[in-house]
Structure 1
């Protein structure tokens, strides 16, 4: 039995029927040339034949006394037929029907008596395509580690056929490996402990710096400056999902012309889309919306480790600004200040300070708290870097990969994007009741990008 880090256990402790806390992904594949009608069915049978499962995908939560799930237990008798499922759309299935199915699948809770993941192969799509939807509890992985696992299960070679799924390693390496954090000679553990103590001691000046910024300097976007909005209300467990990709060349060209990063332009696309969407509904606040933008604290040496390692920057979306270029400038400057604030801090310090604006999400689970506490931010917008080249799964070309993320209580909309093969792939996940006509945001994203191109490119 292994104890969970606090950053992982909070995703289990805070979960309820109205608040599923798993992350997901939708991949769209083109069948290889000459593939027969049983191609997807055969893939499913092959997946069920895999008996070597990574330890990460054998973990199920275990309670300690009456406290709740604070430890991991290994499931040595995993039922793959439960976890790996085959579905089909009425042929010829359209993308709209696929997104409706993913919306329903994403709204159901994972079974805590089993390892916390599912994979769904979805057949019947038009144009000789099929899809894979996976969901894994956020206590097991964050978006970066999930994408890394996916990438390692695919190949750049379209002729390679011995590709295993993310939950099955090529070799039995993880079973014999020591638990993470115990590798290396004994002295390395002592050094790590001293490093952690040093970080905790130096956290106090960082908190003082944070407070000074809140009350005096006002030099960055700060918690509780966000206005109340249509997204900052109680939510249900039902989900709506919409997805689309945009050419990276278009986004990069705007960034070069404006002296902004790709991430800045992505945020400006979201800001413009949200502005138009809320104007349509008569719900645009006078004050600008504030986005929480996660930043990965993982390094390349982290490999395939699970768990969570993220910090948080609060960024104005300047939705009160009509001009798209001025809006982009404000967003770019806000992100620059946020990154500068964390400069020189350790991972522990960044994680600790990032927890401050997340505190209202925990408070929001208390009935009636939404009316008493202002939102620390209005929505989460994440950007997870993905593969730069086309990838294949047993000969099937992956055409798109779309993140399916988590709306929180008081945070009815989540926007997560990832890059893939020259495209920026947007995944929009919202509370089905609270965020009406979610797919309209896709149209507004295109309008927002085109408006910036018109003035800059």
Structure 2
């Protein structure tokens, strides 16, 4: 009997927790400048080329979820041998005047719709009609298939630093990274070794919990789950989404980093903190206690297997100091809190970090239960994620990539998600919120600029 490729729990949890109100996919919006010699049918020709080439689709993008009886209900992957490329790859046009505003409205609608579980869990949209001699692409992939870091790895492999390189393969046609061995690691000895290693790792989880609790008691900057105040973000959400995006110069943020000795991520968190404080003050909804951010931490650098699929993300909690009016004091609070959180994970294995992070994230699994969000304090107030990008300009079939903006997942009790990635000389901010419960989301972009200027005045 053929072995059923069971899905890891860290991946299947995103299928288990999905509903119409809670789409569980990540996405990306890319803006391109058309090549000088592009004709009126430039995108149409690319579209027809993409949908005509089904044979080059790699196995990862043929995976379809299923729950066979023989797996006792656990999710597994099966291969779709009847892939419909015209379903997965779509060509759209913006209504006039084709501003970024119309593009973001379209992207918001696309990001709010569920992926079809009867097909491989991904879509790719070519979008024409954008002013300024530009076009865009929007892609989404289910979080059960890959995390944000994985999707960015694959996206970068499909681009070139050479503008003259044509006929670049799409993301789904890029082969996976070479592996040192052809073994699938499923033999009896490999399974026994994996079980032994897993048991040893999990035995260290309880001591890690105790250690973190002791750190929290000793160090004021440490944060534990459920210390966050209730805010307008910590409510039940709807399925509709609103998306806002903008880029800021990396040089501005690095100047603050150099002046303060902080990390780049510390500066980004401080920038978000100031913006959130201003936004909530405008709404008359700023809590007296500081907002707490859950900050994902990629574990791929700690792992031997760096395959761009699945999920390999831990989590730390950071005090954003939004109760402090002075930007320098807020920045110090954020820096101290982040340092303590990172130290608590430094000596743990990836599996131990995943288990510990799972305890932090576990309340999100219960959030859809009626009354849970209202009756329990939030484990944290929002997710702020910084995904490393690429430092140089990239091209796709001669078109220059102008910007790439990440879209992520709001949850029940977590109505706002801020995800950042770097590209060339900029940091690209993507803000994804529940359309009903996060009003005037675009105002946060103005507040992010004000917050960065405030930090520059306070530190430079």
Instruction: Report the TM-score, using the length of structure 1 for normalisation.
Output: 0.95
Note if 1:43 corresponds to 2:49: no
Q: Assess, with a 3 A threshold, how the Cα gap between structure 1 residues 172 and 371 changes in structure 2: closer, same or farther.
A: closer
Q: How far apart are the structure 2 equivalents of 1:79 and 1:68?
A: 27
1:261-300 alignment, distance < 5 Å: 261-299=263-301
Shift of the alpha carbon at 1:72? 0.7
Corresponding residue for residue 114 of structure 2? 109
Which of 139, 155, 163 matches 1:158?
163
Q: Assess, with a 3 A threshold, how the Cα gap between structure 1 residues 82 and 425 changes in structure 2: closer, same or farther.
A: same
Q: Contact 1:221 / 1:316 at 8 angstroms: preserved in 2?
A: yes
Corresponding residue for residue 71 of structure 1? 76
Note if 1:28 corresponds to 2:31: yes
Corresponding residue for residue 316 of structure 2? 313
Note if 1:424 corresponds to 2:419: no
Q: Assess, with a 3 A threshold, how the Cα gap between structure 1 residues 209 and 219 changes in structure 2: closer, same or farther.
A: farther
Q: Assess, with a 3 A threshold, how the Cα gap between structure 1 residues 451 and 218 changes in structure 2: closer, same or farther.
A: closer
Q: How far apart are the structure 2 equivalents of 1:14 and 1:369?
A: 15
Classify the secondary structure of the residue corresponding to 1:3. coil
More moved, 39-48 vs 240-249? 39-48
Which of 48, 51, 58 matches 1:54?
58
Corresponding residue for residue 199 of structure 2? 197
Q: Contact 1:379 / 1:413 at 8 angstroms: preserved in 2?
A: yes
Q: Contact 1:225 / 1:377 at 8 angstroms: preserved in 2?
A: yes
Q: Assess, with a 3 A threshold, how the Cα gap between structure 1 residues 74 and 177 changes in structure 2: closer, same or farther.
A: farther
**Deviation per CA, 1:346-369, whole angstroms, max 9, x where unpaired?**
001000011112121111110111
Shift of the alpha carbon at 1:213? 3.9
1:396-407 alignment, distance < 5 Å: 396-407=399-410
Classify the secondary structure of the residue corresponding to 1:167. helix
Which of 436, 444, 455 matches 2:447?
444
| RMSD after superposition | 2.0
Which of 239, 242, 248 matches 2:241?
239
Shift of the alpha carbon at 1:26? 0.4
Q: Contact 2:176 / 2:308 at 8 angstroms: preserved in 1?
A: no
**Deviation per CA, 1:31-63, whole angstroms, max 9, x where unpaired?**
111111111111111111222111111111101
Q: How far apart are the structure 1 equivalents of 2:320 and 2:57?
A: 43
Corresponding residue for residue 136 of structure 1? 141
Q: Assess, with a 3 A threshold, how the Cα gap between structure 1 residues 158 and 232 changes in structure 2: closer, same or farther.
A: same
Q: Contact 1:88 / 1:124 at 8 angstroms: preserved in 2?
A: yes
**Deviation per CA, 1:252-305, whole angstroms, max 9, x where unpaired?**
101111221110010011100000000000000000000000000013854443
Q: How far apart are the structure 2 equivalents of 1:32 and 1:304?
A: 33
Q: How far apart are the structure 1 equivalents of 2:192 and 2:376?
A: 42
Corresponding residue for residue 89 of structure 1? 94
The number of residues matched between the two structures is: 453
Q: Assess, with a 3 A threshold, how the Cα gap between structure 1 residues 372 and 58 changes in structure 2: closer, same or farther.
A: same
Q: Assess, with a 3 A threshold, how the Cα gap between structure 1 residues 194 and 218 changes in structure 2: closer, same or farther.
A: farther
Note if 1:125 corresponds to 2:101: no
**Deviation per CA, 1:144-171, whole angstroms, max 9, x where unpaired?**
0000000000000100012111111359
Q: How far apart are the structure 2 equivalents of 1:435 and 1:171?
A: 38
Instruction: Report the TM-score, using the length of structure 2 for normalisation.
Output: 0.94
Q: How far apart are the structure 1 equivalents of 2:182 and 2:50?
A: 24
Q: How far apart are the structure 2 equivalents of 1:306 and 1:69?
A: 19
Corresponding residue for residue 209 of structure 1? 211
Q: How far apart are the structure 2 equivalents of 1:380 and 1:346?
A: 23
